Amino acid sequence: MMALQRASAVLVLFLVALLPPPQCAQDPGMVHYIYQRFQVLEQGLEKCTQAMRAYIQDFQEFSKNITTMLGRCQTYTSEYKSAVTNLALRVERAQREIDYLEYLREADMCVESEDKTLAEKLIQEEEEEKKIRTLLNASCDNMLMGVKSLKIVKKTMDTHGSWMKDAVSNSQKVYFLVGSRNKTVWEFANMRAFMEDSTKSAPRKLILTHSWQGTGQVIHKGFLFFHNQGTLNEIIKYNLQKRAVEDRMLLPGGAGRALVYQHSPSTYIDLAVDEHGLWAIHSGPGVYGHLVLTKIEPGTLGVEHSWDTPCRSQDAEASFVLCGVLYVVYSSGGHGPHRITCVYDPLGNINEDDLPKLFLPRRPRSHSMIHYNPRDKQLYAWNDGNQIIYKLQTKRKQPLE
């Protein structure tokens, strides 16, 4: 309203400024003209005032409506905020439930995975047991019960060495290997020639292409198997007839890193032959570790299986394999008595509690080698320069229930 009053005052002043000078006031026509114009302006001013009032009224209505709508928006905002808060809580609760379900699913998967792993392990162990039983399926079920007698076949001046017959073939030849590092093999026609050592049946001298290490040599089907001197774990298969190396292999499992027996100071790998074939014995890791028994396929020199045995190399002097069972000979300080106090059967058919106390006849020194010959069921041994045969007493194995 104050703006309207100001506009009227300005208009009056403008009209006053338009009034003619006093000398024109005497003219009635001019006065009438001015009066008409003033009325027209006054009418226009009235219309402007009415329009202004209508505008103000509309604006007031609009302001009122806006105020009402803003109040409603605040109400709606509170409701929306509350709804959004409730929705967020529901989403958080749903996420926790999803996490819990995922945890249950993973737990079920872990249990299922563990069950599957256990089942696979059991199947693998069963297959491994079948493989071992197939591997050791020869018709041999004897176990050692004692040493019946000792026979000194020959006496030499050499403390260390090995002697043997072919463990498989029907050959009567006797092989004599002197020393723990050498490459000369003496071949005798038979046991009598070996015992008599006469000039009538002089032995044949075989010079190998490689020297052996230790006293763990064996002969199997005309082949000499020995640990190659200067190597950690190389086994050589030597053809005695052709006088040439037939094949060679590297024995795995850390072989050759330590002495296989504490009282055999030069043997790092001991080889053996029984009814099941060719074996290797060596010490596991550590000082005086446990012995490792390895089955070798003599034709291909492939490793068929290995076992970590409970038998230790400490105080051991020799061992042999009979019908797939490892017998380890121990002595105190390298002197007698010579006792077999550790027996390992890969098939688990021998219970040590059922075994008698196994002793070898007392000798002044430890054995340089003891090897079993499956053809004549005797032990061939070397002790303080004496070549000895031990006759054995055995009985049939009784499978454990």
Model pLDDT for residues 216-232, shown as the tens digit of each residue:
999 999 999 999 999 99
**Has residue 3 got a pLDDT over 80?**
no
**Has residue 376 got a pLDDT over 90?**
yes
Task: Name the residue with higher pLDDT: 277 or 116.
Answer: 277
Task: Name the residue with higher pLDDT: 306 or 396.
Answer: 306
Lowest mean pLDDT among 111-120, 220-229, 328-337: 111-120
How far is 267 from 271, CA to CA, in rounded Å? Answer: 10
| Maximum Cα–Cα distance across the chain | 188
Name the pLDDT band for 138 (thresholds 50, 70, 90).
low
- Strand ranges, E, within 105-216: 142-155, 161-165, 174-178, 181-188, 204-213
**Has residue 9 got a pLDDT over 60?**
no
| Look-up of token digits 């403008």 | 14
Question: Which residues partner with 360 through β-bridges?
Answer: 338
Q: What are the residue ranges spanned by the domains of the chain?
A: 56-85, 140-395
Cis peptide, bond prior to residue 337, ω within 30 of zero:
yes
Name the pLDDT band for 22 (thresholds 50, 70, 90).
low
275 near 140, Cβ under 8 Å?
yes
Span 177-205, pLDDT tens digits:
999 999 999 999 999 999 987 667 789 99
44 near 11, Cβ under 8 Å?
no
Q: What pLDDT score does 95 carry?
A: 79
Q: What pLDDT score does 297 carry?
A: 96
What angle do helix axes 2-18 and 28-135 make, rounded to 10 degrees?
140
Residue 81's contacts (CB-CB under 8 Å, 6 or more residues apart) are: none
280 near 270, Cβ under 8 Å?
yes
Q: Which of 223, 226, 222, 225 is nearest to 212 (CA)?
A: 226
**Backbone phi, psi, residue 74, to 5°:** -65, -40
Structure tokens given for 158: 């050499």
How far is 114 from 118, CA to CA, in rounded Å? Answer: 6
Q: Which CATH architecture has domain 140-395?
A: 6 Propeller (2.120)
Span 265-308, pLDDT tens digits:
899 999 999 999 999 999 988 767 899 999 999 999 999 999 99
Name the pLDDT band for 133 (thresholds 50, 70, 90).
low
pTM equals: 0.69
**Has residue 24 got a pLDDT over 60?**
no
In terms of C-beta distances under 8 Å and separation of at least 24 residues, what long-range contacts does 16-25 make, across chains too? none
